[in-house]
Amino acid sequence: MTAAAEVRDDILKSDASRISATAARVAIAAGAAQVLSLLSLHVLSPEFDPAWRVVSEYAHGRYAWVLSMMCAFGAICVWSLAFAIRSQIQTTGGTIGWALLVATGLGTAFASIFDIDHPLHELCGMVGILGHTAAAVLLSISLGRTQPWSQMRGALLWSANLTWISVVVFAITMAIFIVTYTRTGASTTTPIPVGAPLPDGVIGINGWTNRVLLIPFWALTVAWCALRLRQRADRKGC
């Protein structure tokens, strides 16, 4: 074995062995629970058309508590992930991204308390979504430049790019919905009754893009990568 290879092995063992496998598993479990909660709302509250009703509107249904649980699981997911990878942050960008990830958890947690009718709901949602997007990009770039995370760089960057792409697509579909809705003469300040159909000519696919936006694919990807790297380090240490 060459000296370079020995150094590489030492870095792999010393870095990845500091990852919290327990926290990574909690992040994966909480992320899966978040997705299952979201899916269950489609079954429990079918009166909300998923094509154009945003997820926050489930707070007006009988199962608002499931929505709160979904947000709580989301907060647990990102906080557990932050704990799992804290020891792996080696750059300024990564430190900023990590702080944003923690802030994302705060926004998501408060969104479980402040529903769509609360004046702080939009702020919480903005912190959760935009903070998560920025954290995903910064952390993926930072981790991808270090060993042993560079082995996972492709997965990190792909999942990070999906986060901001999903935000952009949601914003576009939401704008299309608002424009086509107002062209019917209806007012966006007047809530559409639950169960009521959309007026003819309104393009409503923003509900689907909103749901895709809330799937924690990046957090799950990073948690899975962290767990694999920790397991590899443990095997090498045996």
Q: CB neighbours (10 Å) of residue 185?
A: 7
At residue 237 the predicted structure's pLDDT band, cuts being 50, 70 and 90, is: low
Q: pLDDT per residue over 189-229, tens digit each?
A: 777 888 788 888 899 999 999 999 999 999 999 999 999 99
Predicted TM-score (pTM) of the model is 0.88
Rounded mean pLDDT, 142-169: 94
* Cα(111)–Cα(16) distance, integer angstroms: 33
Sign of CA dihedral 22, 24, 29, 34: positive
Q: Is the pLDDT of residue 17 over 50?
A: yes
Q: Is the pLDDT of residue 6 over 50?
A: no
* Cα(156)–Cα(225) distance, integer angstroms: 8
pLDDT of residue 14: 38
* Cα(197)–Cα(68) distance, integer angstroms: 26
Q: pLDDT per residue over 100-153, tens digit each?
A: 999 999 999 998 899 888 889 989 989 999 999 999 999 999 999 898 899 999
Sign of CA dihedral 30, 35, 41, 44: negative
Query: Tokens 């792999």 map to which residue?
Result: 12
pLDDT of residue 238: 57
Q: pLDDT per residue over 35-94, tens digit each?
A: 999 999 999 999 999 999 999 999 999 999 999 999 999 999 999 999 999 999 988 999
Q: What is the DSSP string of 124-187?
A: HHHHHHHHHHHHHHHHHHHHHTSTTGGGGHHHHHHHHHHHHHHHHHHHHHHHHHHHHHHTTT--
* Cα(113)–Cα(238) distance, integer angstroms: 46
pLDDT of residue 79: 97
Q: Is the pLDDT of residue 184 over 90?
A: no
